[in-house]
Amino acid sequence: MEDTNSLIKNIAVDIIASTTMVALLNQLNTYLIIKNYNKNFYSQENLTISSVLAVFGISSYFIRKYK
């Protein structure tokens, strides 16, 4: 029973974290679209921010999986 409870908690935390991450990425995307409306959308700044977020998400996933 203890394993089931911890599994449910882990799934709930994963759902909350992924939902929060999607919401934050959506906000960031909207901000960047508005900010760069008259510029090239794939600017260096946008690619850097996307890369940092991707690395953060992937590393946090592996840290949680293999700790």
Q: What is the mean pLDDT of each run of 10 residues along the chain (67 residues)?
A: 77 78 77 69 63 74 71
Encoding tokens for residue 44?
Answer: 């260096």
* N-terminal to C-terminal alpha carbon distance within the chain: 22
Cα gap 43→30, rounded to integer Å = 15
Query: Taken in order 61, 64, 66, 67, is the CA torsion positive or negative?
Result: positive
List the chain domain ranges.
24-67
Its pTM stands at 0.46
Q: So what's the pLDDT on residue 39?
A: 63
pLDDT at 40: 59
pLDDT given at position 54? 73
Closest CA to 17 of 47, 61, 49, 52: 61
